[in-house]
A and B are shown apart, each in its own frame.
Chain A
Amino acid sequence: SSELTQDPAVSVALGQTVRITCQGDSLRSYYASWYQQKPGQAPVLVIYAKNNRPSGIPDRFSGSSSGNTASLTITGAQAEDEADYYCNSRDSSANHHVVFGGGTKLTVL
């Protein structure tokens, strides 16, 4: 199965912009989706299909993709954005198989 690689931890000053990245071979054919998870809660979808936001997700969240790298950008990070973020995509080696990145812990300073 294929893998998705994320940096374990990233920090950002309050109000600044931060980019969280996800790398993997499958991202050359499939856009990543991104999930926010706060302690004790289920993951919440924040970006899908490259740069689409579900209803209720603030527009400071955006997605992009280039080659084997997908990025989640938070423009003007807020204290409530402190959370774990996971990328997810189709496993490039098997149809209908899914793979998650290891997650990035975002700290808002």
Chain B
Amino acid sequence: QVQLQESGPGLVKPSETLSLTCAVSGYSITSGYYWGWIRQPPGKGLEWIGSLYHSGSTYYNPSLKSRVTISVDTSKNQFSLRLSSVTAADTAVYYCARRAGIAAAGSTMGYYYMDVWGKGTTVTVSS
């Protein structure tokens, strides 16, 4: 059974860098799939932060791209999120998730979905 577990500081000061790790168990990151981060501010909806493939290819939400880095440590079977210059607006529950899917081709529809999620970790930005 594939499981994801987020970890990291629950409190980060404004202007500092938020760092989280997602440990993957029951599946090797190098075997496939994309791996990503999603966040949810208090009382609001889900926001995709970015994803990576085990080869190191990364994809970021344009609204966060200048501040985000997602990286993988295949030796530990985990991937990480760094978000720099945080403000109170970055206060949220942060989830890691596994993403599956296929690309659209010709008249054949594609699909993306996130089938395994971590429980989430709350990060508060405050001095």
Which residues of A are at the interface with B, using a C-beta cutoff of 8 A? 1, 29-31, 33, 35, 42-45, 48-50, 54, 65, 86, 88-90, 94-103
| A104 CA / B104 CA spacing, docked (Å) | 27
**Interface contact tally, CB-CB below 8 A:** 83
B27 proximal to A (CB < 8 A): no
Quick check: A29 and B114 within 8 Å, CB to CB? Answer: no
* Closest CB in chain A relative to B121 CB, distance in Å: 10
Q: Assuming the A-B contacts A30-B104, A42-B119, A42-B120, are A99 and B48 also in contact, with contact meaning beta carbons closer than 8 angstroms in the complex?
A: yes
> B107-127 interface mask toward A, CB cutoff 8 Å, 1 = contact, 0 = none?
001111111011110000000
Quick check: A48 and B117 within 8 Å, CB to CB? Answer: no
Q: Assuming the A-B contacts A29-B104, A100-B45, are A90 and B110 also in contact, with contact meaning beta carbons closer than 8 angstroms in the complex?
A: yes
Which of B10-18, B72-80, B82-90, B95-103 has 4 or more CB atoms under 8 Å from chain A?
A: B95-103
* Closest CB in chain B relative to A85 CB, distance in Å: 11
Partner of A90, one of B57, B112, B118, B120: B112
| A43 CA / B113 CA spacing, docked (Å) | 12
Q: Which residue of A lies closest to B46 (CB)?
A: A100
Q: Which residue of A lies closest to B100 (CB)?
A: A48
Quick check: A97 and B45 within 8 Å, CB to CB? Answer: no
Q: Which residues of A contact B115 (CB under 8 A)?
A: 45, 48, 54
| A99 CA / B50 CA spacing, docked (Å) | 10
